[in-house]
Structure 1
Amino acid sequence: MLKNFLKDLAYFTYHQSLSCIFPVVIFVTLALSKIIHLSGIPRYDFILIVCLVTQYLMYKFGLESKDEIKVICLFHIIGLLLELYKVNFHSWSYPEDAWSKIGGVPLYSGFMYASVASYICQAWRRFDLKIINWPRSYVAIPLGVMIYLNFFTHHFIYDVRWLLMAALFVVFYRTVVQFTVRHNHYKMPIVVSFLLIGFFIWIAENIATYFGAWSYPNQEVAWTIVHFGKISSWFLLVVISIMIVAQLKLFYREQ
């Protein structure tokens, strides 16, 4: 029993690592470009080039399919729009100069959202994810839209994230994600998976801000840990991400 569990754990860890290739490349590039001086090219532009090359190589070597690339590009656009809005409301900033900056936002920033989509798509395929009791589209889609809009509207009206999180627990209380490790099936409430992924992204965010990917106002003088409240933001962003992937897979399955 213990032996099989350890084999499953090793398999799970290995394939989770493969699913994280894109985020890992971004973090390694952030770290190295912070330590090593780059001559002739701004740091943010160098990171953008690395992201583009990585995306091409992952497709070239079959790590991502054409349909997965489409999903990742959608996330890139969604993330970039959010970045443009948030930066211009001074929620955070990208202090370094770059040729590829638009509205104060370097284009590589969209790839940080795309890397989350890359992870979800790869993990979905590698672990043969199946979602049981997924809510009806007429419920899931409007809820996802409201979550995304709240990232914009809370600057003007009341922040309803906690109401939206309560609604998520109601809508998804019966929803379970099933994943396969070797030949064994495991199940987890999907809200728990939202929380776990959001928590690990928050950890990654701390690493990213430490290496200067972006800066929150309280980090401009010296780096400090990202506020724990940001976990709720990442939780909601993960919900949107998984909703999009799940709805697209449901759409293609019905074609």
Structure 2
Amino acid sequence: MPQEDQISPMLPGTGRNESLQRAFDLLELLARKPDGASVATISLESGLPRSTVSRLLVSLFDAGAVARPGADRRWVLGPTIMRLTNAVAPLVALQGRSRQVLEAITEQVGETSMLAVPTGPATARVTDEVQGPKLVGVRYPWAGQTIDSPASGFVRQLLAELPEAEARRHIDKMTFTQHTGTTTVTKEGLLRAVDKIRKQQHSSVIDELEDGLSGVGVPVHQDGQLIAMLAIYLPTVRLTPELYGQALEALRAGAKKLV
């Protein structure tokens, strides 16, 4: 089931790591200075003593977050930051294209469509959705929710991307909830469902998260890696074989447009 992300304030008396916050402040400062900056400049603009700046920069240097590549020894952002930026860039671009793709899917199929991105080996976050036009349909806002239930097609699709032995290790740690009379609540049953997804390259979940609710989803791959998942959710009574086929066609076309 979708769960609200709980970002609770830290308990009274629990200390923050001020050095970590200062380190991020320095990284933000360097991000505004593509030509680099000296310790003196960083100290002046950050308001921190030069000794503190030097200590933080050394720690960041050890982590590859900053570097001093030029003869003038100015500090700039390092390779670790560049790798993280490159990892995030495709997701930012994906988010920018998702709305148009989802609108096209919903227009073609007439049902609620959504995009989810992996947040872990078996968890996903719904980043965008377009609700269907029908009065009876999925009205619960899933956008912004984290999905971790093994009854979800998103979670099963993620497990299907893993080698079988690794998927089994994650399934062994899962908690199963009997949402409906047809919810898969055994490890072997979930393994069979995941293996079916692995073979057919799409997921379908019928009356497992909620009675009368069904979903069909497909993976979005880029350079052989799963970067997102597209799905539709709708009342089970409307999931005819004809609509099932139309949904897969629309979702797979949308997946191609996203990469």
TM-score (normalizing by structure 2): 0.23
Higher helix share: 1
> What is the TM-score normalised by the length of structure 1?
0.23
- The structure where strand makes up a greater share of residues is 2
